[in-house]
């Protein structure tokens, strides 16, 4: 009977061991200034447990210092990890360095247990500050030992549980570590002293523009960030970003903003999945829950598209070179992208949309009309009966803003929204929704694929 019990216990232990998997992750802890390397346990439970011959490799931007790193192994007792392999900018991937950490004491690497859901901090390392886009080595896609410059070194990750079998299966959240830079001083984007970290963020970094801070990107300058947050200012102290002529700000992921982008440059959403995302991903413009305020010029070049989650205004040019620009509409809360028209010299427009891309959602198109009685040739660039967009299907609802003059002696009482709407006449009494005038002369005509103007006799 004792032998049978013993055999049953062994089988239980092996089945538990077989069900366990381990995923690696590396994160940057801004509080400590250290990188933390984790093993995430899934399935089963073992107690006591120890790691056998294990290896943890990372990929680092080649711009990082070409040195080893300061490493600190974490308890349990006597666990010892060391940085035993360093490969700098090999020919196969000259933009990356590789570092490997391995357990050096296989006897004493004891842990109290491995349980389903555990996240075990294996070791920390220090680069003397934050370096963005550090990630865990990928056994499937990173270079082989025989690739040029890899020095015949095998860097594949492994995590051996109880010195029996390698339980490593992959990585968790492996898009690369992120550094966050905070701009707390008015002035140019490219001045390190205008950032708390005394350095300018790069395409791998997140950036935060604090409330009330004015930021300038000068003419013809180009900068990139990963995520950008522009904090809301006040009426007397707005948060303002001004882009000079031909200036460009590439936003690789999401923009969270509640104040204005102004100037002649472009805010460009450029999602290059091969380099930046390591996979397709939809980008977002996220406002304060109501509005994302205004942009002068914007361009989209991301096959996965761009999602606008709040109202926003365009005052210059919108370019859609690749991907779909989607204005979110969840039914109860309709968002609008408005093409502003402030005067006869400043009307927002859409550049030619590339074949296969589209603008999808609710759009308002404004057109400034000077206070002068004269004919203008206009067309409607949007459908006015789109479901879910607060349909305005009549000329009255659109061009007259739903208002009407029924008594031509009382014009001032029929304009509740100053600066919006125009008079469309053709009646002395206001019949058929037309604005009443003393003469009743028509002011609006239409033509469809012909050079014949037909008087509009009804706005309803």
Residue 225, pLDDT above cutoff 70: yes
Q: Residue 57 belongs to what domain range?
A: 16-171
pLDDT tens sequence across 347-368 = 889 999 999 999 999 999 988 8
Burial of 106 (0-12, 13-18, 19+ CB in 10 A): middle
Q: How far is CA 65 from CA 68, 131, 357, in A?
A: 8, 10, 42
**pLDDT of 415 above 70:** no
Within a domain: residue 4? no
Of 78, 23, 11, 12, which is closest to residue 45 (Cα–Cα)? 12
Q: Which of these, 19, 18, 16, 36, lies nearest to 27 by C-alpha position?
A: 36
The token pair that represents 98 in the structure block: 């590789």
Tens digits of per-residue pLDDT, 86-112? Answer: 999 999 999 999 999 988 765 545 666
Q: Could you tell me if 166 and 232 lie in one domain?
A: no
Provide the pLDDT for residue 14.
40
Looking up residue 51, the CATH number of its domain turns out to be: 2.60.40
Q: Assess whether pLDDT exceeds 50 at residue 12.
A: no
Strands 45-46 and 114-115: antiparallel
The pLDDT, as a whole number, for residue 51 is 61
Q: What pLDDT does 110 receive? A: 60
pLDDT at 264: 60
Confidence of residue 218 (pLDDT cuts 50, 70, 90): confident
- Among residues 141, 171, 201, the one where a domain terminates is 171
182 vs 27: CA distance, rounded Å: 19
Per-residue pLDDT band for 36 (boundaries 50, 70, 90) equals very high
Regarding whether 329 and 224 lie in a shared domain, the answer is yes
pLDDT, averaged across the chain = 81
Confidence of residue 277 (pLDDT cuts 50, 70, 90): very low
Q: Is the predicted pLDDT of residue 384 greater than 90, yes or no?
A: no
Let me know whether 332 and 241 are in one domain.
Answer: yes
Residue 336 belongs to a domain: yes
Q: What is the DSSP string of 328-353?
A: -B-SSSB-EEEE-EEETTEE-EEPPP
pLDDT of residue 37: 93
Quick one: 104 and 241 in the same domain?
A: no
Residue 8 — pLDDT band, cuts 50, 70, 90?
very low
């Amino acid at each position: 009977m004792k032998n049978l019990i013993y055999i049953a216990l062994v089988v239980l232990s092996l089945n538990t061991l077989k069900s366990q998997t381990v995923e690696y992750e590396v994160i940057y802890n801004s509080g400590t200034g250290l990188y933390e390397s984790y093993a995430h346990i899934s399935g089963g439970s073992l107690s006591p447990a120890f790691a056998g011959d294990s290896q943890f490799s990372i990929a680092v931007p080649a711009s990082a210092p070409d040195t080893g790193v300061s490493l600190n192994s974490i308890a349990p007792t006597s666990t010892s990890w060391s940085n035993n392999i360093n490969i700098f900018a090999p020919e196969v991937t000259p933009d990356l360095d590789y570092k490997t950490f391995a357990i050096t004491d296989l006897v004493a690497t004891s842990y109290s247990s491995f349980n389903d859901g555990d996240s075990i901090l294996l070791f920390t390392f220090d680069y003397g500050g934050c370096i963005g886009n550090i990630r865990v080595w990928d056994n499937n896609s990173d270079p082989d030992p025989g690739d040029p410059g890899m020095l015949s070194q095998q860097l594949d990750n492994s995590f051996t549980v109880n010195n029996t079998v390698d339980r490593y299966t992959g990585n968790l959240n492996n898009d690369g570590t992120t550094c966050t830079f905070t701009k707390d001083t008015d002035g140019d984007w490219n001045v390190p002293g205008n950032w708390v970290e005394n350095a300018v963020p790069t395409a791998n970094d997140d950036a935060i523009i604090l409330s009330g801070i004015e930021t300038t990107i000068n003419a013809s300058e180009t900068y990139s960030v990963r995520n950008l947050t522009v904090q809301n200012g006040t009426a007397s102290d707005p948060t303002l970003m001004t882009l000079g002529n031909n200036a460009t700000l590439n936003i690789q992921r999401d923009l969270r903003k509640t104040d204005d982008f102004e100037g002649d440059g472009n805010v460009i959403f450029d999602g290059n999945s091969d380099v930046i995302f390591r996979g397709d991903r939809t980008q977002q413009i996220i406002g304060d829950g109501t509005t994302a305020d205004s942009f002068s010029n914007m361009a989209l070049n991301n096959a996965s598209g761009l999602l606008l989650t709040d109202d926003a205004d365009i005052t210059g040019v919108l370019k859609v070179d690749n991907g779909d620009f989607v204005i979110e509409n969840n039914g109860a809360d309709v968002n609008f992208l408005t093409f502003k028209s402030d005067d006869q010299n400043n009307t927002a427009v859409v550049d030619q949309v590339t074949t296969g891309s589209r603008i999808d959602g609710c759009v308002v198109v404004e057109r400034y009309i000077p206070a002068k009685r004269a004919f203008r040739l206009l067309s409607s660039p949007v459908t006015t009966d789109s479901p879910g967009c607060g349909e305005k299907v009549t000329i009255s609802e659109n061009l007259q803003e739903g208002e009407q003059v029924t008594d031509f002696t009382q014009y001032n009482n029929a304009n509740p929204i100053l600066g919006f709407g125009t008079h469309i006449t053709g009646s002395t009494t206001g019949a058929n929704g037309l604005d009443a005038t003393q003469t009743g002369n028509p002011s609006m005509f239409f033509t469809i694929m012909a050079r014949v103007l037909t008087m509009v006799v009804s706005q309803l």
